[in-house]
């Protein structure tokens, strides 16, 4: 059975418009995050803090917590700001972010980090760390919505 060419062209055009509409509806978005994290430890360390997600003109409060294991010594306060990408809704920021790294802060030091959670949200953060902290460890950071 053959379709007339005009009808075939109309069906293809309709399918193309539907595909563009569906793909733009499924496109991930981004927001901005600010976190304040307090960290302390001796071999095993812990961290906790709070923050805020700005997404589509609204502010969502966040809580953070985590554990570090490896060479960890001291205490610090870190303030990070940056972008979170590949999210569809605010709750996509919540999750566990893992990292392996090393650092040293005596007084005031700069920090930059890129983390990804299990939902695919990507945090690109920069900021400063104040305190006396030396680490070469595996760490995890859990972010929850308050």
DSSP string over 80-107: EEEEEEEESSGGGG-EEEEEEEEEEEEE
Share of the chain above pLDDT 90, in %: 40
pLDDT at residue 25, rounded to an integer: 43
Q: What is the mean pLDDT of the chain?
A: 79
The confidence band for 11, taking pLDDT boundaries of 50, 70 and 90, is: low
Give the Cα separation of 37 and 39 in Å (integer): 6
The larger pLDDT score, comparing residue 51 to residue 67, is at 51
**Looking at residues 62-89, what average pLDDT do you find?**
88
Task: Give the predicted TM-score (pTM) of the model.
Answer: 0.73
**Exposed e or buried b per residue across 75-99, where buried means at least 16 C-beta atoms within 10 angstroms of its C-beta:** ebbbbbebebeebeebebbbbebee
Does residue 43 surpass a pLDDT of 90? no
């Amino acid at each position: 059975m053959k379709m007339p060419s005009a009808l075939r062209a109309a069906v293809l055009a309709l399918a193309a418009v539907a595909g563009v509409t569906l793909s733009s509806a499924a496109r991930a978005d981004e927001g901005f995050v600010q976190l304040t994290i307090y960290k302390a430890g001796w071999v095993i360390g812990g961290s906790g803090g709070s923050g805020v997600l700005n997404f589509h003109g609204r502010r969502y409060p966040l809580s953070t917590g985590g554990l570090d294991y490896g060479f960890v010594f001291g205490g610090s306060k870190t303030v990070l700001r940056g972008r979170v990408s590949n999210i569809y809704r605010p709750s996509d920021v919540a999750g566990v972010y893992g990292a392996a790294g090393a650092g040293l802060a005596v007084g005031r030091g700069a920090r930059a980090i890129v983390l990804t959670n299990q939902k695919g949200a990507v945090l690109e953060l920069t900021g400063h760390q104040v305190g006396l902290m030396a680490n070469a460890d595996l760490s995890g950071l859990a972010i929850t919505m308050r």
